[in-house]
Amino acid sequence: MFFLPESPRWLGRKDRWEEAHAVLTLVHGKGDSNSPFVLRELQEIREMVEFEKQNSDVTYLELLKPHMINRTHIGVFTQIWSQLTGMNVMMYYITYVFLMAGIKGNANLVASSIQYVINVAMTVPALLYVDRWGRRPTLLVGSTLMMTWLFANAGILASKGHWAGPEGVQHTKEASWEVAGAASKAVIACSYLFVASYAPTWGPVSWIYPPELYPLRLRGKAVALATSANWAFNFALGYFVPPAFVNIKWQTYLVFGIFCLAMTVHVFFMFPETAGKTLEEVVDIFEDPNGIKNVGTPAWKTHISTKRTVMLEQNKFDQAAEVEKGAGYHEESPIRSGSETAEIKA
């Protein structure tokens, strides 16, 4: 973190405009401080910072106002759903799952460790490609895959397993169900596939997405609220999962599978696409006068803007306008030509 530059919007709020310009040049201008895209971004940031200065009395209650409540609920539920995917079942209590699958002793620890390696390795593709994939497709694919593996585990345990008795497997009450043979290998495979599905999708995107939803003046408080929801549900699941394994056994997987189904529906209808968009463009989505009141542009009508943004960075304004028109993008900030950005510079 010591080597990373400050956010240009934060620098702008501190009236450090030269540094903000330098950061934008580094990120978007490829060394060209006169890049039309850089000058356009700088002007938009100036306008937004000026607006925020005139509306600087921010409280948490503002997040509950009609024009903000939709964004607040999306950010909070992104973090809540991240917990309710069932990832904690697979990571915190995986030793119970593998014990039910017949893996005992040191072999259980090794099998559990493999899952952590998968988690780290499968996060790398998201770091490289998440802006190309977009937020909505990544979340939708992730929740659908996780739902598949959770329901598969529930089906395997229900049809091929049996109750392990009141003391559980090896006197571990939480390992209340037992499965052997090919079915146990299938449970292990589905567990690994679940983690491989979470790591490049909900794992990173649940942290990337919330900060992209809010104007700068509210971002700190909004993200803090969303993060508190994450840890509240993390705490709750820590208490829920072990007793669930004891009392409802394999049906625990059904609970989390249903949560994954619910989050898939929720994301499709309510979570707009933010990839490749500036904060100002995201504001336009939520405050679209032609959209749904207090919601804005319907989420399923929003699109990835990464390709368009890359073209703007390369000063290909005509091609960017064609991409925007052809993909049916929400009407965002106008794409300025080189002559218009020269006026901004002046």
Q: What is the pLDDT of residues 19-59, one digit of tens each?
A: 999 999 998 888 888 888 899 889 988 988 887 777 667 78
What pLDDT was estimated at residue 181?
Answer: 93
What pLDDT was estimated at residue 314?
Answer: 59
Burial class for 170, CB neighbours closer than 10 Å (0-12, 13-18, 19+):
exposed
Encode the chain (346 residues) as per-residue pLDDT tens digits.
788 888 898 899 899 999 999 999 998 888 888 888 899 889 988 988 887 777 667 789 999 999 999 999 999 999 999 999 989 777 888 889 899 999 988 888 898 899 999 999 999 999 999 989 999 999 999 999 999 999 999 999 999 999 999 999 988 999 999 999 999 999 999 999 999 999 999 999 999 999 999 987 888 899 999 999 999 999 999 889 999 999 999 999 999 999 999 999 999 999 999 998 888 889 999 999 999 999 999 999 998 876 666 655 555 555 555 555 555 444 444 444 433 433 333 3
What pLDDT was estimated at residue 48?
Answer: 81
Q: Are strands 177-178 and 162-163 parallel, antiparallel or unpaired?
A: antiparallel
What pLDDT was estimated at residue 156?
Answer: 96
What pLDDT was estimated at residue 336?
Answer: 42
Q: Of 323, 285, 329, which Cα lies nearest the Cα of 303?
A: 329
What pLDDT was estimated at residue 344?
Answer: 34
Site of tokens 């319907």:
298
CB under 8 Å, gap of 24 or more: what pairs does 49-53 form?
A: 49/9, 49/12, 49/13, 49/216, 52/13, 52/215, 52/216, 52/217
Q: One-letter amino acid identity for 169?
A: V
Question: Which positions ≥6 away from 336 have C-beta within 8 Å?
Answer: 36, 40, 317, 344
What pLDDT was estimated at residue 278?
Answer: 81
Instruction: Kindly state the tokens that stand for 165.
Output: 């008795």
Cα torsion 281, 204, 195, 105 to 10°: value is -160
pTM assigned to the model:
0.79
What pLDDT was estimated at residue 58?
Answer: 79
286/295 Cα distance (integer angstroms): 6
Site of tokens 């993060």:
227
What pLDDT was estimated at residue 10?
Answer: 87
What pLDDT was estimated at residue 304?
Answer: 84
What pLDDT was estimated at residue 330?
Answer: 45
